[in-house]
Amino acid sequence: TYPATLVSLRGGYARGVGMGPAGDPLPDRMLLAAVVETPEGDLFPQLHGPAALVAAQREAFVAFIEGLAPVEVPEPEQPEPE
């Protein structure tokens, strides 16, 4: 398990693309986000949507964050020279 910080925000949400306009805010939205510190760099997983749906998935989101762990990748086998 890696060190992580969890943030939860709730309110209206409007998002644009790049520097474009954000559009009308959607009411009653929720954002769960984490900063997960790994030796290879930080990860920023996010879950956002209608507040009731996101709140219902909070436990699963936290379990996902807690389940992040390094994976050992075996070295590829080298063919023997002929």
Sign of CA dihedral 75, 44, 14, 31: positive
- The length of the chain is 82
Query: In what helix (H) or strand (E) does residue 28 lie, and over which residues does it extend?
Result: strand 26-38
pLDDT score for 25: 84
Summarised one tens digit per residue, pLDDT across range 23-81 is: 788 899 999 999 999 999 999 999 999 999 999 999 999 999 999 998 888 888 888 88
Q: Is the pLDDT of residue 9 over 90?
A: yes
